[in-house]
Structure 1
């Protein structure tokens, strides 16, 4: 049972329903309802009864509420202990990532971290985007987020999370009836990517290149919002992580499709230089990164 589900259950009970819980959790009602369904599916049991438009905890829900009280209280106390440890800690974490889409969730994670470590400055190095490993090796970064680790004796990697890449298409596209896309489906498409080289593009590296497929056209567009608008205008299709495209799928004009029956799954890593002796707060920052996608998924 994920922490976010426990927070959800506690918020629904304490706020008296879904509507007020959405404000507390900063989620839309549809997102909250979806997470509740996911929690019940994972548990294999109903968590709430609906009685006169009110949600009443089932026996399973009551046990989870008790668990939520215990665990969330422990987390809060631990955070306070960490905050106390951080008093007097000063320093800076220079960070970048290989993809602009990560900046949808990274700043919020950094703000949350700085509430616990007010004297530690976290700074995004935008100019290192797309080549964070190179900048890490050059000493311009302290931490790089990547899904494309390279073997180098100077770098250590810590696995952060998995995510799945999907194709984003306009709802009227000829692919809209498909359950999934294969490599050859891209052969007559304009594929919109964030940057070159192609070896850093996941769909090319793991799906298209092994199948010997080259899209009919490739458009390079580093801004996610602009890419989405091109897809909406039926000027091409793109591939990005499910969490990155989620805000745009609220529109009926767009649709996501899985890539291959098994999906295109990536591992995401935090990369740091082995020879750098990093302060303890780096480890806590990595824990924040590790949970960021779950909270924003």
Structure 2
């Protein structure tokens, strides 16, 4: 039994007349009559009784009608889901990063992603910035950008890029003319950081804390612009990634290499290891990596 015959039977019964069924199915009367005869020939028994120009379901017709209701509902649902897959699934991506300055990549990524997946909403969870992995584990996030890959038994990490971190000082600072500074040198400075806890701050997590080094003074200031102004006034030192420093580079500040070999930080995108993610998550990560690589290439040139 072909699907079109089920649609035909359902339309005739529910519309109550051949004329209205013709309008619903967009068929001519002769085409409808021909399809009905074809269906009855395939079955070898009538589907309708013809009485006084009315069509009344036979017992076989009643069985087919109930089958049509079930089958066509399932088929319509499947077709709808397939269309969503083709045009972009419905859903939400909740994302955060451990560093506010990382968000500068997202506008270009969102524009490209939403062009491909218009039915998927990307929600940036700013309140999870200082604890993205914790929020990921608590199922308050779907993705987290981090430089601290922990709990690898539960979380899968995909490399995004590596950035170099620099100490940013004023031209009047004692470090200004040095080719590089050593980790030990941070004991004698006023160090500006964006937030606490210290284990989320790269310079502490990777260099200072393992050596038991504490700066002379710690200044906590969430805004990069304000931090740069303090640096310009020679009131402190801040450590920034090369790409985060780029918009502020001029003669009023200097970027100093940290350690002779440099201080590098690997950024990852994290998601739960045992969770099944819809395919649009893979595309989002792909677009994010492409945008970051494009941004880095532009800066290199």
TM-score (norm 2): 0.67
Q: Partner residue of 1:278?
A: 277
- Within-5 A mapping of 1:222-241: 222-241=222-241
Structure 1 position 86, deviation (Å)? 4.9
- Cα deviation code 1:19-60 (max 9, x no counterpart): xxxxxxxxxxxxxxxxxxxxxxxxxxxxxxxxxxxxxxxxxx
Closer, same or farther: CA 86–191 of 1 in aligned 2, 3 Å: farther
**Runs of 4+ deviating beyond 3 Å:** none
Rounded to whole Å, the distance in 2 between the matches of 1:134 and 1:280 is 24
Q: Partner residue of 2:294?
A: 295
Rounded to whole Å, the distance in 2 between the matches of 1:127 and 1:217 is 27
Q: Partner residue of 2:132?
A: 132
Structure 1 position 115, deviation (Å)? 2.0
CA contact (8 A) 1:167 1:240 kept: yes
Rounded to whole Å, the distance in 1 between the matches of 2:125 and 2:107 is 12
Structure 1 position 140, deviation (Å)? 0.7
Q: Partner residue of 1:209?
A: 209
Query: Does 2:168 align with 1:154?
Result: no
Q: Partner residue of 2:190?
A: 190
Structure 1 position 152, deviation (Å)? 4.5
Q: Structure 1: give runs of 5+ residues left out of the alignment.
A: 1-83
Rounded to whole Å, the distance in 2 between the matches of 1:223 and 1:121 is 27
Structure 1 position 262, deviation (Å)? 1.1
Structure 1 position 149, deviation (Å)? 1.2
- Cα deviation code 1:78-115 (max 9, x no counterpart): xxxxxx97514221110000011101222332222212
Please give the root-mean-square deviation of Cα atoms over the aligned residues, in Å: 1.7
Closer, same or farther: CA 209–176 of 1 in aligned 2, 3 Å: same
- Within-5 A mapping of 1:68-217: 86-217=86-217
Rounded to whole Å, the distance in 2 between the matches of 1:107 and 1:138 is 26
CA contact (8 A) 1:96 1:124 kept: yes
Closer, same or farther: CA 158–258 of 1 in aligned 2, 3 Å: same
Rounded to whole Å, the distance in 1 between the matches of 2:108 and 2:90 is 20
Structure 1 position 292, deviation (Å)? 2.8
Q: Structure 2: give runs of 5+ residues left out of the alignment.
A: 1-83, 297-301
Rounded to whole Å, the distance in 2 between the matches of 1:138 and 1:293 is 28
CA contact (8 A) 1:86 1:116 kept: no
Structure 1 position 175, deviation (Å)? 0.8
Rounded to whole Å, the distance in 2 between the matches of 1:126 and 1:226 is 19
CA contact (8 A) 2:96 2:141 kept: yes
Rounded to whole Å, the distance in 2 between the matches of 1:205 and 1:266 is 11
Rounded to whole Å, the distance in 2 between the matches of 1:153 and 1:206 is 21
Rounded to whole Å, the distance in 2 between the matches of 1:239 and 1:166 is 5
